[in-house]
Structure 1
């Protein structure tokens, strides 16, 4: 999609050569605006009187006199907050979707100039018009090609507009790869996607294969991959926007491109959704796609351990003991707790970058879905400062997270008679014990874990990837780039 930003009054927006106008109206129009004599303003005043209360309520018109666009949709935007604007734009864009609108004017000229609201509007228009077509030739491709965002003062909101555009690229990149079936998104395919991003300015990509991963001693990662005919890939991406030698933010994305559960095989119903088990990897790729557009002054590393979890004759078995890259041994009590096994080796590898912060992102536990549903991502960190920074980033951009506990007592269930630890600790507090497992591999790095099992995709009739938490990750990175003195979070001591 192409986006452009213009300073336009309602009267000027009415003369745009587009297929449709989507006009957002606050609950109370400014008096000076309401008194304007042009046709679109008169229509806006009448529409506010006719519309029911509530954000997203709308009135539609066709071939309105004095308006060049064939269609006009006026949508109530409540208090004009960023969240209300996002909801209103989503409703209005969805209403126009069946009309096959190619050129849309998103008119925010009646609202206060708010960079975050403009950012949300850009994202919402893309989300509501998104269509997956890669393996579905019968699907109609996205009709919407160009969006003109009309505001009172373009200069005042330019920064939010640019972030919004970059987020559209990043979120849709993440959606594309998460939505692809497992046979169209193998570890090799993910590596190719990362290489393609690496051809953009400022990004360097390296892909390690089985021999190189074995040489590194990543025994936990290799154990998960050994049951699949698809070779594993360990993807290392570096975005170098900051000064040479500046400590990077490291993002670690779980890249299980299909998860059968291995020998501890999953039940058949909804197993197809296990193609989404690389949602963490997709979010890292999407964040790098956004970084390539925005080019913030910060260094970022992306690590993606990628493989399938399959149950063939070579697959790892319950009770097997493997040695991780850290040297710690792990008794694999459940082969369906595989994500933490590939992540633990990637976290050990992350230490070589001496990161200012390391964040792993994973569709890790069904327990997190039970705890938080599909609204908030589970956030785990022993650092109050890092946790607060991530929580704030999510609150600002609407990609919400919720901090979960990491009390040392939760690690008791990971004890093993045959290895340094087991990979599971029973059903109770499963999301927390999974995080406690990962914590054993981070040493003194400032670390956070995002469990996106409930937020990375939707089931049911609207089945598909959400692209979360790309907005949260990008906002956090931009916040860190803007406050270099605060990038290294204070850490509190915890017992492993």
Structure 2
């Protein structure tokens, strides 16, 4: 998709369609949309007065040109109530309009920036939101059908009137980086388990390293044995596909000792292990590496944007299967950190592999940590599909992650980590146990991981509910969302 800047008014632009916006409750369209309305002999205003166009968020109305303007169609996209309009709602409105154009087979689009949002927000951020809306909203998952009918928007003309061209260009570039990194994570999560094995995930990491000139180290099974990473080895024991520990490093501030550590759960398929999942729960478990995908997508963007900071990514990649050497309930595992884990349930494997990864990230110098994982179904019970669960051992660092998420429009909600919850991870024969049944299921995962983060400021993000969307909505299509990619990128920018 190519982005072009134009000073030519949209009502004069020859393209397949132009997109204009309308706010709910407004008597008429505003800004550049008024000129489009006038060129169409006020047909938009007429439909507003008749109540056919309401401006409700997500509402789409398509008008043909009646020979009045060069563009073939005008797409009116609802922004919702003006006093509630923000950059997130702008992304939503842009995404649904662009996706509608894509489904119609249109190739060329033109749109501008709503004037009241330009006055309310930084113009670079508004442009970035528009670009993200288009590129996230029109993403299409990889298909393995023998016959494919892929419709793609080729060119988007962005009309600018009161914004400097340098600000527009900056917004376009950042929007493309954020969106394409998110779409890359979506691609990885959507890949079938037989296509995306731990080895293939490592291959994708290598490609990112080469493209962005990052340092990379991939530990094989033999090296994991040498290093004593028995947690990752135990979970992967039942699989014919050997595990990998993937390490990517970006050094943008060599004079600094501060290192942002990003850890992503990379279980490329999760059968549940010997305590196997029911069949209805096993569908979709190819996506149990969404945390790893988020970290890889973020590293791709960080390598492109080159913020003044140091970032380390650690990804434990494996499959949790039921083969001859599968780990068992009741086993005790000695981890890379030296701490021991009593296995109460083989389907609580994510926290086990993260134990080695978090300890290894600390060993490699990470001074602040964020782990991202599809860790618990319990977080869906608590928060549904709208927000990721956040847990932390450090209030200020937790607030920093919350701020990054708020800026990019990803919702997180903090869950408590009271000392009393320690009872759930206490073991009679090991340092910790990995499961204590239903109560506070998500918090159990956080309390477990806290033992391996130690005193290092750390945030745990449970994205089990947000990693995939059950339906097409706003910037999301049905399937993988790329959750937390943009939050991690924004966090790195702030870390700088």
Q: Tell me if both proteins adopt one fold, taking TM over 0.5 as the criterion.
A: yes
The alpha-carbon distance between structure 1 residues 328 and 44, as it changes in their structure 2 partners (threshold 3 A), is same
C-alpha displacement of 1:466:
0.5
Equivalent position to 2:139, from 120, 130, 135: 130
1:172 equivalent in alignment to 2:183: yes
Secondary structure (helix, strand or coil) at the match of 2:327 reads: coil
Equivalent position to 2:237, from 218, 223, 226: 226
Which residue number in structure 2 is paired with residue 16 of structure 1?
13
C-alpha displacement of 1:295:
2.0
C-alpha displacement of 1:71:
1.7
Equivalent position to 1:92, from 97, 108, 115: 97
C-alpha displacement of 1:109:
5.6
Equivalent position to 1:62, from 52, 64, 74: 64
Which residue number in structure 2 is paired with residue 472 of structure 1?
487
The alpha-carbon distance between structure 1 residues 17 and 301, as it changes in their structure 2 partners (threshold 3 A), is farther
Q: How does 1:210-359 map to 2 (within 5 A)?
A: 210-359=221-370
Structure-1 separation of matches of 2:37 and 2:359:
66
Structure-1 separation of matches of 2:203 and 2:17:
38
Q: Does the CA-based 8 Å contact 2:344-2:436 persist in structure 1?
A: no
Which residue number in structure 2 is paired with residue 197 of structure 1?
208
C-alpha displacement of 1:355:
2.5
Which residue number in structure 1 is paired with residue 39 of structure 2?
39
Which residue number in structure 2 is paired with residue 488 of structure 1?
none
C-alpha displacement of 1:460:
6.7
Gaps of 5+ in 1: 482-496
Structure-2 separation of matches of 1:124 and 1:246:
36
Structure-2 separation of matches of 1:264 and 1:458:
27
C-alpha displacement of 1:120:
2.2
Secondary structure (helix, strand or coil) at the match of 2:352 reads: helix
Q: Does the CA-based 8 Å contact 1:24-1:111 persist in structure 2?
A: no
The alpha-carbon distance between structure 1 residues 47 and 397, as it changes in their structure 2 partners (threshold 3 A), is farther
Deviations 1:36-73 (A, max 9, x none): 99626955555554522423334322234342221211
C-alpha displacement of 1:111:
4.7
The alpha-carbon distance between structure 1 residues 264 and 459, as it changes in their structure 2 partners (threshold 3 A), is farther
Equivalent position to 1:107, from 89, 103, 112: 112
C-alpha displacement of 1:209:
0.4
Structure-1 separation of matches of 2:136 and 2:265:
24
Which residue number in structure 1 is paired with residue 431 of structure 2?
420
The alpha-carbon distance between structure 1 residues 16 and 389, as it changes in their structure 2 partners (threshold 3 A), is same
Structure-2 separation of matches of 1:465 and 1:33:
34
Structure-2 separation of matches of 1:426 and 1:413:
9
C-alpha displacement of 1:124:
1.9
Secondary structure (helix, strand or coil) at the match of 2:453 reads: coil
Query: Greater shift after overlay, 133-142 or 186-195?
Result: 133-142
Query: Greater shift after overlay, 460-469 or 284-293?
Result: 460-469
The alpha-carbon distance between structure 1 residues 233 and 142, as it changes in their structure 2 partners (threshold 3 A), is farther
C-alpha displacement of 1:336:
0.4
The alpha-carbon distance between structure 1 residues 63 and 266, as it changes in their structure 2 partners (threshold 3 A), is same
Which residue number in structure 2 is paired with residue 145 of structure 1?
154
1:117 equivalent in alignment to 2:117: no
Deviations 1:441-478 (A, max 9, x none): 11211100000000001347864101101121112222
The alpha-carbon distance between structure 1 residues 331 and 107, as it changes in their structure 2 partners (threshold 3 A), is same
Structure-2 separation of matches of 1:74 and 1:124:
15
The alpha-carbon distance between structure 1 residues 46 and 451, as it changes in their structure 2 partners (threshold 3 A), is same
C-alpha displacement of 1:145:
2.4
Structure-1 separation of matches of 2:465 and 2:285:
13
Structure-2 separation of matches of 1:454 and 1:212:
34
Secondary structure (helix, strand or coil) at the match of 1:434 reads: helix
Gaps of 5+ in 2: none
Structure-1 separation of matches of 2:289 and 2:31:
51
Query: Greater shift after overlay, 200-209 or 222-231?
Result: 200-209
Q: Does the CA-based 8 Å contact 1:372-1:378 persist in structure 2?
A: yes
Deviations 1:15-41 (A, max 9, x none): 334322112245465589847996269
Q: How does 1:441-456 map to 2 (within 5 A)?
A: 441-456=452-467
Secondary structure (helix, strand or coil) at the match of 2:363 reads: helix
C-alpha displacement of 1:157:
4.4
Deviations 1:219-250 (A, max 9, x none): 11100011100011111011222234442211
TM-score, length of structure 2 as denominator length: 0.90
C-alpha displacement of 1:266:
0.2
Deviations 1:304-340 (A, max 9, x none): 1000000111100111111001111111111101001
Q: Does the CA-based 8 Å contact 2:10-2:111 persist in structure 1?
A: no
